[in-house]
Amino acid sequence: MSKFDTWIDNKVAQNLFIWFCFFIILFGTIQADNRWLASLFTITLLAPPIYLNNLFILPLLREKLVLFFFLFLINLLVSSSIFVYIMSIVLQQELQWNLWANFLGVMILALIFASAIKLARDSFYRRQQEKDAELKLLKAQLNPHFLFNTLNNLYGLSVIKSDKLPGLMLKLSDLLRYSLYDTKETFVPLEKEIRYLENYMSLEKIRLENTTEIQFHKKGDFTTTKIAPMVLIVFVENAFKHLETIQGKKSSVSVSLSVQGEKMMFSCINTFASNHHTKPSLETGKSGIGLQNAKKRLDLIYADKYKLDIIKKDEKFVVELMLLF
């Protein structure tokens, strides 16, 4: 999170900014000999009823509507009366009903404006908390999904190449360390995510050996770029899961990733047999869980800053993802 975002999320800074804007409005509208002092004096009188309303009365709006309106009215009338009484003492004049009516109008507008800002801010924070909770849930679902697929791969390797299991278990340890400990943040360095993909693909390369051609091309500067963790791995996992051997040819998985400025292009291509009787799909079977989670996370984190295409052409599944940072 940048320093600007930290300031934006700081409630004290938010309140000071709103009061500063209100001071500018008062300074431009109040007709008095000393507009600075009059504006500050008005804000001093407005602040207590506004904070009383926002902190104690406004929370009753959803559950106790009648009580809310009653307390809102009492707060409005009492604060207006106190303001007129203080003004009469300061100006050494008798109570004036027109002054009370004028301040009552100002207080109504101030309370409505402050309530609207408070409701909008609370709604934004509530949606943000729901979004964070959903992201944590999706990430929690992703780790067991990854482990399930990897253990399946190790089971196949134990049958075919049992002598290579110790080295493979070390790679699995590195993969799990990353997925369990390094992915707690919303964003991680892209170079770590790439290293994670490379480790996973190296496991698959040993398992498939001479039957599959596996390539990983990368281009650009990854040291300063960050990405949502474990988004790309889902597409790579699906590529290997739906990989099929073509008669007389090697199957292949090709992954490429490039970064240009604030734009990242990722593609993952795997072959399949076009004469297969069952219709292959990236979104069927158990792998669909990971793919659905990946799409949801992209929607939540990147919103309109990404484009995802999953197509089938020329005996190949093609996944193309474009991200804007």
Q: What is the pLDDT of residues 163-213, one digit of tens each?
A: 767 777 777 777 778 777 777 777 889 999 999 899 888 878 877 777 889
| Partners of 26 in the β-ladder | none
* Element at 16 (helix H, strand E): helix 11-29
Q: What is the pLDDT of residue 279?
A: 42
More confident call, 245 vs 30: 30
The closest alpha carbon to 108, from 82, 87, 67, 77, belongs to 77
**Averaged pLDDT for residues 239-263:** 84
- The token duo for 191 is 């170079």
Phi and psi (nearest 5°) for 256?
A: -135, 145
Q: For the chain, what is the mean pLDDT?
A: 80
**Averaged pLDDT for residues 75-100:** 79
3-state secondary structure of 31: coil
Would the CA dihedral through 180, 186, 190, 191 be positive or negative? negative
Amino acid identity at 22: F
| Partners of 227 in the β-ladder | 188
Please provide the DSSP assignment of 188-254 as one string. EEHHHHHHHHHHHHHHHHHHHGGGEEEEEEEES--SS-EE-TTSHHHHHHHHHHT--PPTTS-EEEE
Q: What is the pLDDT of residue 121?
A: 85
Residue 186 near residue 232 (C-beta atoms within 8 A): no
Q: What is the pLDDT of residues 254-313, one digit of tens each?
A: 999 999 988 999 999 998 866 554 444 444 444 456 677 788 888 888 888 999 999 888
Q: What is the pLDDT of residue 93?
A: 66
Question: Distance between CA 229 and CA 304 in Å, rounded?
Answer: 18
Amino acid identity at 304: D
Q: What is the pLDDT of residues 102-159, one digit of tens each?
A: 788 888 988 998 899 888 888 887 777 667 756 665 555 555 555 666 677 677 667 7
Query: Does position 98 have pLDDT exceeding 90, yes or no?
Result: no
Q: What is the pLDDT of residue 280?
A: 42
Residue 318 near residue 300 (C-beta atoms within 8 A): no
Query: Does position 40 have pLDDT exceeding 90, yes or no?
Result: no
Q: What is the pLDDT of residue 249?
A: 77
3-state secondary structure of 321: strand
Q: Which domains does the chain have, with CATH numbers?
A: 3-125 (no CATH), 161-324 (3.30.565.10)
The closest alpha carbon to 217, from 288, 178, 156, 266, belongs to 266
Q: What is the pLDDT of residue 48?
A: 92
**Averaged pLDDT for residues 29-58:** 85
The strand pair at 212-219 and 251-260 is best described as parallel
Sheet holding 306-313, edge to edge: 212-219, 251-260, 263-271, 316-324, 306-313
3-state secondary structure of 144: helix
Query: Does position 7 have pLDDT exceeding 60, yes or no?
Result: yes
Question: Distance between CA 132 and CA 309 in Å, rounded?
Answer: 26
DSSP state of 261: T
More confident call, 130 vs 65: 65
